[in-house]
């Protein structure tokens, strides 16, 4: 039987769909114009899916805060609808400034594997490629469109790459055999984001993401399959998920799941994120609103003292439960802990 081709399936699904109308008003340029040219795929659960005819898949990271050189995001927008998500600003580039557009208008990047095949020649030895830095590569859209799978199929044809994946989804288990193939000739680390073990709280914070226990079980199964997997506790939310008891429970659960590492990044709050997160806070945690407004007054980042406190606590807990601080000898974990949540690994 012919090997499964995710790219071919994605192309077939996208091939015969009607063009959506262009946005009205001021002429659009760049990514906004490309988004307006997208094709409507389908609509479900108040979520609309569109193609995005991008010109590039592999994006060079120029921020000094980032420990990686290149990023890949198979989708634009994320259906998981995490209340704290910093990446909502990416829809503003498409002239979509309503916060919920990010979670209700999901753009599926076209010809991803073809673009990646052409662009990998620009990657030099030692330059890490991060998959899922802005939107989850295994969000619900991936079940149907399989863009992430097509990307992995292409990566499996190459050698000597340094790769990292960040996800909240147990859907990644679908691709275990493909991930193993990628890892045969490349360095690969898979990071599962877990903010809390409290399923009820997780449902409030991350309405459409898989439960925390499913994510930790994913860590277990990936490591049992001889893949390197660990946990990102990000963001750590002051007064909500940052108690020593809660953080120790997560470190212990990571150790029990065989996680190779765990680290934490405190919340950072861009204006686009605050526009969604603060109303959520007023509804669910009204007693914390004043504190958050003071902490994030005219700033996106928590004070360095808070970062240091979280970092020191995690260091003690890792030592107690026998987990190393990060991916052994890998640059992606040599940065000081407590950096912004955008530095995903």
Is the pTM value of this prediction over 0.85?
no
Give the integer Cα–Cα distance in Å for 162 and 127: 7
Residue 100, pLDDT score: 85
Give the integer Cα–Cα distance in Å for 333 and 58: 22
Residue 21, pLDDT score: 38
Residue 93, pLDDT score: 56
Q: Which of 266, 274, 321 is nearest to 297 (CA)?
A: 274
Give the integer Cα–Cα distance in Å for 230 and 104: 29
> pLDDT band at 334, cuts 50/70/90?
very low
Could you report the per-residue pLDDT of 288-326, keeping only the tens digit for each?
Answer: 999 999 999 889 999 999 999 999 999 999 999 999 765
Q: DSSP states of 69-93 as a string?
A: SEEE-SEES-TT--TT-GGGHHHHT
φ, ψ (nearest 5 deg) of residue 120: -65, -20
Residues pairing with 109 in the sheet: 52
Class of domain 6-10+56-70+112-333 as given by CATH: alpha beta
Contact 233, 252 (CB under 8 A): no
Q: Residue 7: is its pLDDT beyond 70? A: no
Higher pLDDT, 112 or 332: 112
Contact 41, 17 (CB under 8 A): yes
Q: Tokens 């859907």 sit at which residue? A: 171
How distant, in Å, are the alpha carbons of 85, 205, 296 from that of 274? 9, 14, 9
Higher pLDDT, 185 or 2: 185
Higher pLDDT, 238 or 25: 238
Could you report the per-residue pLDDT of 129-185, keeping only the tens digit for each?
Answer: 999 999 999 999 999 999 999 999 999 999 999 999 999 999 999 999 999 999 999
Give the integer Cα–Cα distance in Å for 56 and 51: 14
Q: Which of 304, 278, 7 is nearest to 146 (CA)?
A: 7
> pLDDT band at 22, cuts 50/70/90?
very low
Q: Residue 339: is its pLDDT beyond 50? A: no
Residues pairing with 167 in the sheet: 192
Residue 337, pLDDT score: 37
- Max Cα separation, the chain? 61
Could you report the per-residue pLDDT of 237-249, keeping only the tens digit for each?
Answer: 999 999 999 999 9
Could you report the per-residue pLDDT of 206-260, keeping only the tens digit for each?
Answer: 999 999 999 999 999 999 999 999 999 999 999 999 999 999 999 999 999 999 9
Dihedral, CA of residue 142, residue 60, residue 301 and residue 215, to nearest 10 = 30
Per cent of the chain over pLDDT 70 is 77
Across the range 23-33, mean pLDDT stands at 43
Could you report the per-residue pLDDT of 84-119, keeping only the tens digit for each?
Answer: 999 887 767 566 766 689 999 999 999 999 999 999
Residue 330, pLDDT score: 40
Per cent of the chain over pLDDT 90 is 69
**H-run or E-run covering 235:** strand 228-236
Give the integer Cα–Cα distance in Å for 61 and 227: 26
Mean pLDDT, rounded, of the chain: 84
């Amino acid at each position: 039987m012919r090997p499964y081709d995710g790219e071919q399936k994605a192309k077939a699904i996208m091939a015969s769909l009607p063009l959506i109308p262009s946005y009205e008003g001021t002429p659009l340029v760049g990514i906004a114009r490309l988004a307006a040219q997208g094709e409507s795929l389908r609509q479900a659960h108040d979520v609309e899916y569109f193609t995005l005819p991008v010109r590039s898949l592999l994006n060079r990271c120029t921020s000094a805060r980032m420990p990686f050189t290149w990023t890949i995001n198979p989708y634009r927008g994320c259906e998981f609808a995490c209340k704290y998500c910093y990446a909502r600003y990416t829809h503003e580039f498409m002239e979509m400034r309503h916060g919920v557009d990010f979670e209700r208008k999901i753009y599926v990047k076209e010809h991803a594997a073809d673009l990646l095949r052409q662009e990998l020649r620009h990657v030099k030895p030692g330059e890490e490629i991060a998959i899922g830095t802005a939107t989850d590569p295994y969000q619900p859209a991936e079940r149907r469109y399989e863009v992430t799978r097509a990307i992995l199929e292409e990566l499996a044809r190459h050698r000597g790459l340094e790769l990292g994946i960040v996800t909240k989804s147990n859907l990644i288990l679908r691709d275990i055999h493909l991930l193993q193939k990628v890892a045969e000739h490349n360095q690969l680390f898979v990071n599962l984001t877990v903010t809390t073990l409290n399923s009820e709280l997780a449902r409030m914070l991350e309405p459409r993401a898989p439960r925390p226990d499913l994510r930790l079980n994913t860590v277990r199964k990936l490591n049992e399959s001889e893949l390197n997997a660990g946990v990102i506790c990000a963001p750590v939310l002051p007064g909500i998920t940052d108690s020593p008891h809660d953080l120790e429970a997560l470190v212990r659960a990571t150790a029990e799941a065989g996680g190779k590492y765990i680290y934490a990044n405190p919340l950072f709050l861009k204006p686009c994120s605050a526009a969604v997160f603060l109303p959520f806070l007023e509804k669910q945690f009204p007693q914390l609103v004043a504190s958050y407004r003071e902490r994030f007054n005219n700033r996106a980042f928590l004070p360095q003292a808070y970062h240091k406190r979280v970092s020191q606590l995690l260091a003690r807990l890792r030592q107690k439960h026998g987990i190393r601080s990060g991916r052994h000898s890998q640059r992606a974990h040599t940065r000081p802990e407590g950096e912004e949540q955008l530095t995903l690994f």
